[in-house]
Amino acid sequence: MRHGHGYRKLGRTSSHRAALLKNLAIAIIKSEKIETTLPKAKELRSYVEKLITRARKGDSNAHRAVFASIQDKASTNRLVTEVAPKYVGRNGGYTRIVKTRLRRGDAAQMATIELVSAE
């Protein structure tokens, strides 16, 4: 029974799952919109929103904390200097998931996950 189980395993080992989430996070920071499977998108939402919340302060400690998670200098810099400051007045809900199609081949439910435009 999975009472209180807090994450999706996605059919991967823990190190593979961590690498997958890190690479998806880098991709969404760079392009602001990606298409992936629905379970991956739902798991990525939590991961990216925590990163954005950390990056909102914009100080050197925020840089350090974000870089420790995604280990990509360009994406870290873009997140802390360009993306996160747009969400300073917003308490969470930085991403949107939209179901798109069934993937041909294995009929997996696909979804786009994108950063919400801040007003």
Can you give the pTM of this predicted structure? 0.93
Domains of the chain by range and CATH? 14-115 (3.90.1030.10)
Q: Give pLDDT, residue 20.
A: 98
Q: Give pLDDT, residue 119.
A: 65
Could you tell me which of 35, 44, 23, 45 has the C-alpha nearest to residue 110? 35
Residue with tokens 């870089």: 67
- One digit per residue, the tens of pLDDT, for the chain of length 119 reads 878 888 999 999 999 999 999 999 999 999 999 999 999 999 999 999 999 999 999 999 999 999 999 999 999 999 999 999 999 999 999 999 999 999 999 999 999 999 998 76
Amino acid identity of residue 71, one-letter, is Q
